């Protein structure tokens, strides 16, 4: 008689703080921790985690609004995790349950990570490359290929670009009927490819197009979709952990789609880091045709009205943003921010309070219900730093905060802080910049 193989015990890991991401949100991690004295707070409001007491329950990881806590695994534990991934291929822990085995078999039919390359008239949306960067990480963890999904007319060059940003394969649907985005035509193409190649993960930008298409595809193929994710990672059963703000941004929820494939997520522009464009990287282009009778597509594109015609400002793509909050005291004072932005070659953004008050248009709003931005410099003027605002700008390279309240939460994420009246400080900075440009000595 042979001895039954003992199931491998899944390592739980220990919580570990990433100090530079911590925003000292008010000890949420300490409150969530079920173990006495495992998490203490330092004078600055950041947690000190005693790893010898950590039981790996991940409660602190889940409540952290800034994703500043992660699980740490020793190299031995990492090897065990990799072994589990390889052995189980998606099966629940040590299962003898036939239903669970059938589910595991069904899930195992789906392999590979796909990213939709969103394009307008042959020009890719940057978010697609950002998603390829994240997709590369996910595909490497799962040890599967990363594929770009390129749909359009005369768009083959985007496959080459996708390879440069990390894709191994590109599925190309290139025909005049796909020149303009229409839900019906793109839905048909994506569903046809999903049925044929069965990817386990599909990522799309949380743009107008991505939001529309992802919802339609998820409904058609009968799977789940998590919109506006801010974090994506793989658990030890090959599931995609999709993190996004929930309950008005008061918690970060990690959502799983562990019974259906593909797992679908959208991510806003600038949330994921732009990967390096590799020169000389190549891949395999797989051409697919999708039979589409133009008469069957009810939506006809008559005219494209672009952003340039509506004079909207793209704060999402700006390198420098001077953003104003309720502390600006009134609509007219935004002229001060515009002057500073003009001197620095930037654009003006705003908090939601400002947009709600009608001081600035909605397309300038930064934050959870506005845009996610990642400029080189973000200057927050009279903005308190509510979590819903922080999630939209905390990944900026340099954050300069001006606020008369020295305890304002914005200072927790600021690289440089100025405590004082914004209506005095901003004009002073603008004037100094003008002097410097004019070559006026001190
Ligand atoms: C579901 C949901 C989604 C949301 N989405 C967003 C979002 O996308 N973006 C967003 O921004 N908010 C969002 N909010 C709102 C958010 O919770 C805050 O209410 C908002 O960000 C506050 O804006 P504020 O910082 O401009 O105003 P306040 O919180 O009122 O802060 C004003 C700040 O100005 C300072 N101040 C006042 N006068 C001066 C002065 N003369 N000089 C210097 N400083 C001064 C004050 O000290 C204060 O810190 C959302 C809320 C919810 C519930």
Q: Is 266 in the pocket of ligand 1 (CB under 6 A)?
A: no
Residues 265 and 327 in one domain: no
Segments forming the whole domain that contains residue 347: 310-436
CATH number of the domain that residue 233 is part of: 3.40.50.620
| 88 part of a folded domain | no
Residues 205 and 260 in one domain: yes
In 220-270, DSSP assigns E strands to 225-229, 231-234, 240-246, 251-255, 263-267
**CA atoms of 136 and 144, how far apart (whole Å):** 9
Give the number of the atom of ligand 1 that is nearest the alpha carbon of residue 351. 11
Q: Is 363 in the pocket of ligand 1 (CB under 6 A)?
A: no
CA of 432 to the centre of ligand 1 (A): 28
Beta carbons of 331 and 359 less than 8 angstroms apart: yes
The pTM is what?
Answer: 0.66
Identify the domain boundary among 240, 264, 296: 296
| 95 part of a folded domain | no
Q: Is 372 in the pocket of ligand 1 (CB under 6 A)?
A: no
| 6 part of a folded domain | no
pLDDT for position 317:
83
Residue closest by Cα to atom 7 of ligand 1? 367
CATH number of the domain that residue 78 is part of: 3.30.70.20
| 305 part of a folded domain | no
| 5 part of a folded domain | no
For ligand 1, pick from 380, 402, 403 the residue to mutate: most ligand atoms within 8 Å of CB.
403
Distances from the Cα of 128 to the Cα of 118, 160, 171, 234, 266, angstroms: 6, 14, 14, 20, 11
pLDDT for position 92:
45
What ranges in 311-421 are assigned the alpha helix state H?
334-344, 352-356, 387-390, 410-413
Residues 315 and 194 in one domain: no
Distances from the Cα of 275 to the Cα of 8, 137, 265, 310, 333, angstroms: 36, 11, 19, 31, 38
Residue in 74, 62, 64 with CA at minimum distance from that of residue 14: 74
Identify the domain boundary among 296, 330, 359: 296
Residues 31 and 151 in one domain: no
Residues 278 and 364 in one domain: no
Residues 126 and 201 in one domain: yes
**How many residues does the structure list for the chain?**
442
Write out the chain's pLDDT in tens, 442 residues.
445 556 667 778 899 988 877 778 778 889 889 999 999 999 888 999 999 999 988 888 777 766 678 788 888 887 787 777 666 554 444 455 677 778 888 898 999 999 999 999 899 999 999 999 999 999 999 889 999 999 999 999 999 999 999 999 999 999 999 999 999 999 999 999 999 999 999 999 999 999 999 999 999 999 999 999 999 999 888 899 999 988 767 788 999 999 999 999 999 988 899 999 998 899 999 999 999 888 878 888 888 776 544 456 789 889 999 999 999 999 999 999 999 999 999 999 999 999 999 999 999 999 999 999 999 999 999 999 999 999 999 999 999 999 999 999 999 999 999 999 999 999 999 999 999 988 765 5
Residues 149 and 255 in one domain: yes
Residues 281 and 389 in one domain: no
Which residues in 35-63 are b (16+ Cβ under 10 Å) and which e?
A: eeebbeeeeeebbebeeeebebebbbbbb
pLDDT for position 145:
92
CA of 439 to the centre of ligand 1 (A): 37
CATH number of the domain that residue 381 is part of: 3.40.50.1220
Q: Is 354 in the pocket of ligand 1 (CB under 6 A)?
A: yes
Residue closest by Cα to atom 18 of ligand 1? 386
Pairing of strands 347-350, 225-229: unpaired
Cα torsion for 228, 179, 145, 257, to the nearest 10°? 30
Residue in 258, 248, 155, 153 with CA at minimum distance from that of residue 200: 258
Tokens at 420, concatenated = 């004082």
pLDDT for position 76:
84
In 363-415, DSSP assigns E strands to 377-381, 398-403
Residues 66 and 131 in one domain: no
| 89 part of a folded domain | no
Identify the domain boundary among 296, 319, 349: 296
Residues 63 and 198 in one domain: no
pLDDT for position 310:
47
Residues 275 and 350 in one domain: no
Beta carbons of 207 and 245 less than 8 angstroms apart: no
Q: Is 367 in the pocket of ligand 1 (CB under 6 A)?
A: yes
Residue 46's contacts (CB-CB under 8 Å, 6 or more residues apart) are 17, 19, 22, 24
Number of domains in the chain: 3
| 100 part of a folded domain | no
Q: Convert 129-195 into a string of H (helix), E (strand) and C (coil).
A: HHHHHHHHHHHHHHCCCEEEEEEECCCCHHHHHHHHCCCCEEEEEECHHHCCCCHHHHHHHHHHHHH
pLDDT for position 259:
93
Tokens at 354, concatenated = 């400002």
Residues 316 and 292 in one domain: no
In 288-362, DSSP assigns E strands to 320-324, 347-350
| 165 part of a folded domain | yes
SS3 366: strand
CA of 382 to the centre of ligand 1 (A): 8
């Amino acid at each position: 008689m042979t001895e039954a193989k003992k199931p491998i015990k899944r390592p739980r890991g220990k919580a570990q703080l990433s100090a530079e991401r911590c925003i000292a949100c008010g000890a949420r991690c300490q409150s969530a921790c079920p173990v006495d004295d495992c998490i203490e707070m330092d004078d600055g409001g950041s947690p000190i985690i005693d790893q010898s007491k950590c039981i790996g329950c991940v409660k602190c990881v889940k409540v952290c609004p800034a994703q500043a806590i992660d699980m740490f695994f020793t190299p031995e534990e990492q090897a065990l995790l990799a072994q589990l991934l390889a052995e189980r291929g998606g099966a629940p822990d040590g299962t003898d349950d036939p239903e669970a085995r059938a589910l595991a078999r069904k899930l195992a039919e789906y392999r590979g990570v796909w990213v939709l390359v969103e394009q307008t008239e042959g020009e890719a949306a940057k978010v697609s490359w950002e998603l390829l960067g994240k997709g590369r990480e996910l595909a490497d963890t799962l040890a599967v290929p990363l594929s770009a999904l390129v749909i359009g007319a005369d768009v083959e060059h985007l496959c080459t670009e996708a390879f440069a940003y990390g894709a191994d394969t590109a599925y190309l649907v290139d025909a005049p009927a796909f020149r303009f985005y229409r839900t019906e035509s793109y839905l048909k193409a994506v569903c046809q490819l999903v049925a044929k190649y069965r990817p386990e993960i599909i990522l799309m930008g949380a743009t107008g197009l991505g939001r529309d298409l992802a919802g339609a595809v998820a409904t058609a193929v009968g799977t789940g979709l998590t919109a506006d994710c801010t974090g994506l990672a793989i658990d030890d059963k090959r599931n995609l952990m999709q993190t996004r703000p929930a309950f008005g941004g008061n918690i970060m929820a990690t959502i799983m789609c562990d019974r259906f494939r593909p797992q679908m997520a959208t991510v806003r522009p600038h949330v994921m880091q732009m990967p390096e464009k590799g020169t000389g990287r190549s891949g395999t282009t797989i051409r697919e045709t999708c039979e589409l009778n133009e008469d069957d597509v009810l939506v006809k594109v008559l005219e494209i009205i672009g952003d340039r015609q509506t004079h909207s400002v793209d704060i999402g793509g700006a390198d420098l943003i001077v953003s104003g909050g309720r502390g600006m005291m009134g609509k007219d004072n935004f002229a001060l921010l515009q002057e500073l932005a003009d001197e620095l070659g930037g654009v003006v953004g705003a908090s939601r309070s400002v947009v709600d008050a009608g001081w600035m248009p909605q397309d300038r709003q930064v934050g959870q219900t506005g845009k996610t931005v990642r400029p080189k410099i973000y200057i927050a003027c009279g903005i308190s730093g509510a979590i819903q605002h922080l999630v939209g700008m905390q990944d900026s390279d340099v954050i300069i905060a001006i606020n008369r309240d020295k305890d304002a939460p914005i200072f927790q994420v600021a690289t440089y802080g100025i405590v004082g009246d914004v209506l005095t400080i901003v004009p002073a900075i603008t004037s100094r910049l003008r002097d410097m440009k004019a070559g006026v000595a001190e």
